[in-house]
Structures are given as C-alpha cells and as structure tokens.
Amino acid sequence: MSKKLKEAALMHAAESIGPLVLRSWIGSLRTKVVSESPKPHFLRTDFEGSYLYAVWHEVLLLPALLASIRHPYVVISNSRDGSYITRIAEGLGWNVLRGSSSRGAFSVVRQILEAHKQGDIVNLAFTIDGPRGPRREAKGGLAYVSAQTRLPIIAVGSAHDRPWRAKSWDRFVLPRPFSKAAMYLSEPIAPPRSTSESDVEATRLVLQSEMTRVTAAAESIVAGEQAAKFVRKAA
C-alpha cells in the first residue's frame, strides 16, 4: 500500500471510529465539575454566552465534553497529526480552527471575528501550552485572541485518578475507563485592556497563575480532598 493510501486509510479510521471511541471512553468517567462563576457552566442546559477556554495540552481529552455546548470551537495545529485530530474533533461536533498557541494566532482571530460577523456564538477551547510546550507554560496566543475579540477567558483545570501517561513532551493523559475525573473552572478572566505587548503579557501571567491554581483544585477533588484552599467562590 502506498504512503498516500495509508494516510487516507488512517484519516478514514480517525473520522469514523475515533469519535465513537472517545465518546464511550470519556463517557465512562465519573466526572465532577466545579465552577466558580454563579452563571451556568458549559455542561448545563441553560448555559449561554461566548467564552475562551484555556486547557493544558496533556488533558485535552476531558474538555472534549465541551462538545455538548452550542457552537463549540477548538484550535488544532497545522501539523500532520493535527489533520487526524481535526477529523476526530469534527466527528465530535466541533468547529475546527487551524492555528496554534504561538503561530497562527492572527488566523484564529480572523476566523473568530468572521464567525461573530455571521451572528454565531463562539466558545473556543485553546491548548495554551501546545503544540510543543514547554509543558504547563502558558503562551501568549490566547491572551492575544482575547484582546482582539473582547471575549473573556475561563481557566479549566482537569485531573484524573491514576491515569496512564504517554512518553511525550506533555506527558499526555490517557484516563483509565470508569475512573474519577474532575474539572474546575475559574471565574471569567477579563480580556487585556489592549493588544499591546505589555497588556497581553500581563494577561498571560494572570492566566498562568490561574491555570496552576485550578489544576491544583481539580487534582485535590480527584484525591478526595477539600479544594477549599484553592476555591474563591465555588458554585
């Protein structure tokens, strides 16, 4: 079989089998969601609004639950691997924007603004340390997107009970089926005051701190501990 035929076969498998496997896998988890905002979070039927969601690359499987909200968008890199992930994401109901946390931010902004122009509601998930790391180090792409679109950011902390991990730069998480998981959502973080380098960097630093905090809170919940020391106004 030629290389092109192999790639076509992999693409077809990703598109047809990937979403079904992921839905069953993630659906088996005993997931607890905690939100600091008094407004309904994205897993509730009365959720409304447009937000940007920051997630670490290693735990992006769990926020696939975001596909349950209206008009979910996700940013996926322009790499070859990104093409396979795109097919799976589209099968899960996502609207895919091709870009990254560093390169491609201008393209992402343009696509989001175009969606808004057409009257669409945008809820965008963004792996802020991807596509190649360093692990758990927030890049400035999402803060820039927030500044341009004026959409607030929600930091999403995710954790799993004794997950399997890949030997990759991000130690990618593969949840054990039927295991405990938690998602902890921050209150909305205001967009940068402007698109200036200093304002975007200030928001990036806030986001870095918030991601560390909400991740620790989610890990505490999975461990069966009270997340009180991480909580501000949990609802």
pLDDT tens readout for residues 118-135: 766 678 888 899 778 899
Confirm if 192 and 199 have CB atoms less than 8 A apart: yes
Mean pLDDT on 197-216 = 97
Q: Which residue has the higher pLDDT, 35 or 1?
A: 35
In whole numbers, what is the pLDDT of the chain averaged over residues? 81
Percent of the chain with pLDDT over 70: 77
For residue 96, is pLDDT > 80? yes
- E-strand ranges in the chain read 30-35, 51-55, 72-76, 95-98, 123-127, 153-160, 164-165, 173-174, 180-185
At 8, the pLDDT band (50, 70, 90 cuts) reads: low
pLDDT tens readout for residues 50-59: 889 999 999 9
Mean pLDDT on 4-9 = 54
Residue 34 has what pLDDT?
A: 92
Which pTM does this prediction carry? 0.83
